[in-house]
């Protein structure tokens, strides 16, 4: 596995990962995305103000007993507050999204199109959704703006772009989240994690 370098300034950005579609360089502050095996400049990375964090980029952590290494960090603003989405890899190289907002921690994996819900029409609060044989009720719909990017990502995120998010909860406590993109909704399924169960390995 060779190392990945920033196409703009050449800084090392960690190991090359097959699913990477985008990189955001902390050194020169630019983002680039992969198209036809070529990195193309996409713009700026934004400023990531560092406060105390549960997870840090490239530092392995145990999340509810499973070891993950965060490789990308995207920060979204919902107006009065912000939350982080970490793109993290387990030891086998499988990727998950870990959302962290003031002690609320959710670990979710992308749902393949075959298992994803297919809502008809616009989503509404309380609406029922089906995924992997479980029923979910929409509990939250909001928009958020991407305000900072760092590291590598399996999808292209653009600084300053506003995304629509939806959260739906199952009686078991599982959380189904959707992110609206140009090609429709993308779905992620996972569980809440107790923040006290996120620790250094």
Partner 1 sequence: MRDPGQIRAIQCTQCGAGLDVLGGGRVTTHVCPYCGSALDALDNYRVLTRFTEMTRPATPLSIGDRGRVMGQDWQVIGILGLSERWQTQVWTWVDHLLYSPTHGYVWLTLEDGHLILTRRWRKAVSPGWISAAQVEQANARPGADSDGEHFRYFETSTASITFAEGEFTWRPRQDDRTITVSLLGDRTMLSYVEGAHEREIERSWYLPQADVWAAFGVTGAAVPRTEGAHPLAPVRLPRDLSFLIGASAVFAALCGLLALVFLAMNGRTVLAQTTLRASQLPTEMAFDIADTSRLAELRFEGDLGTNTWAWIEVTLSDPEDVPLFEAGRELGYYAGRDSDGAWTEDDRVTVIRFHPTQSGRYTLDLDAPEGGAGEAQDGPRLGGLRVSAREGASSARPPLALAVLFALLAGGLVLWRRTAEARRWQGSDWEDDD
Among 51, 65, 133, 182, binds partner 1 (CB under 8 A): 51
DSSP 68-123: EEEEEEEEEE-SS-EEEEEEEEETTS-EEEEEEETTEEEEEEEPPGGGS----SS-
Q: Which of 35, 135, 194, 201 binds partner 1 (CB under 8 A)?
A: 194
Q: Reduce the secondary structure of 161-201 to three states and give it as a string.
A: CEEEEEEEECCCCCEEEEEEECCEEEEEEEEEECHHHEECC
Choose the stretch contacting partner 1; rule: CB under 8 A; options: 6-14, 26-34, 91-99, 166-174: 166-174
Widest Cα–Cα separation across the chain: 49
Least distance from partner 1 to the Cβ atom of residue 188, Å: 17
| Pick 181 or 195: Cβ nearer partner 1 | 195
CA–centroid distance for 94 within its chain:
13
Binds partner 1 (CB under 8 A): choice among 8, 26, 82, 181: 82
84 to 113, contacts with partner 1 by CB under 8 A? 84, 101-104
- Choose, by CB under 8 A, the member of 5, 19, 44, 77 that binds partner 1: 77
The residues that touch partner 1, with contacts defined as CB under 8 A, are 49-54, 77-84, 101-104, 171-173, 192, 194-196
């Amino acid at each position: 596995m060779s190392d990945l370098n920033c196409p703009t300034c050449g800084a090392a950005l960690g190991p090359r990962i097959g699913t990477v579609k985008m990189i955001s360089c902390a050194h020169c502050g630019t983002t680039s995305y992969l198209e036809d095996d070529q990195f193309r400049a996409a713009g700026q990375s934004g400023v990531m103000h560092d406060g105390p964090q549960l997870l840090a980029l490239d530092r392995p952590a145990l999340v509810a007993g499973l070891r993950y290494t965060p490789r990308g960090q995207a920060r979204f603003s919902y107006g009065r507050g912000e939350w982080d989405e970490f793109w993290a890899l387990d030891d086998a190289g499988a990727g998950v999204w870990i959302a962290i907002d003031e002690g609320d921690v959710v670990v979710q994996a992308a749902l393949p199109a075959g298992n994803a819900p297919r809502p008809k029409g616009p989503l509404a609060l309380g609406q029922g959704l089906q995924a992997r044989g479980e029923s979910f009720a929409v509990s939250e719909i909001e928009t958020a703006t991407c305000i900072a990017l760092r590291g590598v990502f399996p999808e292209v995120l653009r600084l300053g772009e506003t995304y629509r998010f939806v959260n739906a909860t199952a009686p078991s406590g599982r959380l189904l989240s959707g992110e609206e993109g140009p090609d429709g909704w993308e779905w992620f399924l996972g569980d809440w994690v107790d923040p006290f169960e996120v620790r250094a390995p």
